[in-house]
Amino acid sequence: MMTLQTLLQYEPNRGTTPPVVIPGQAGASRIRMRGRPGEPLELRHARTVLTAILEVRAGRRAPGQLRTVVTPRMYQHLRVVPPSPGPRYTVRSVRASQSAPGAVEICGTAHADQRATAVMARFEHSEAGWRCGFFTVVQPQRHR
């Protein structure tokens, strides 16, 4: 069973209020992808969505399979951008931080072969439930 873990601050708050802590970071509370307003995001669902997005980007999954778990804008992006065949990634560690009411930012690592890359996403809660509205893969820089 996965639990939410607190992330260390990586940037000063520069006079703003610190981010709101996600309920249940010590243990039991979870978010459902199609949850009612106020329910937290379940990390295992976030990891499943991240893995599915990586599969769509690699051409191993049809974008239509993600229509209910991504925002309309993200869905359109997944449909338009051509797949880039590459290694099969496995999303392992996933962390969450609530960035605003109804928004959770996720970061994690995706592993392929002997390499790890960072993945980042933003999930937004609406009347349709939790949906991914932003996703990116941070590729490691090549040494010169």
Residues in the chain: 144
pLDDT tens, residue by residue, 38-79 = 567 888 889 999 999 999 998 899 999 999 899 999 999 999
pLDDT of 71 reads 93
pLDDT for residue 88 is more than 80: yes
Predicted confidence band of residue 1 (pLDDT cuts 50, 70, 90): low
State pTM to two decimals: 0.70
CA distance 89 to 131: 21
DSSP string, the chain: -----PPPP-S--TTSPPPPPPTTTTSS----TTPPTTPPPPHHHHHHHHHHHHHHHTTSS-GGGGTTTB-HHHHHHHHHSPP---PPPEEEEEEEEEEETTEEEEEEEEEETTEEEEEEEEEEEETTEEEEEEEEEEPPPPP-
pLDDT tens, residue by residue, 104-143 = 999 999 998 888 889 999 999 888 788 999 999 987 777 6
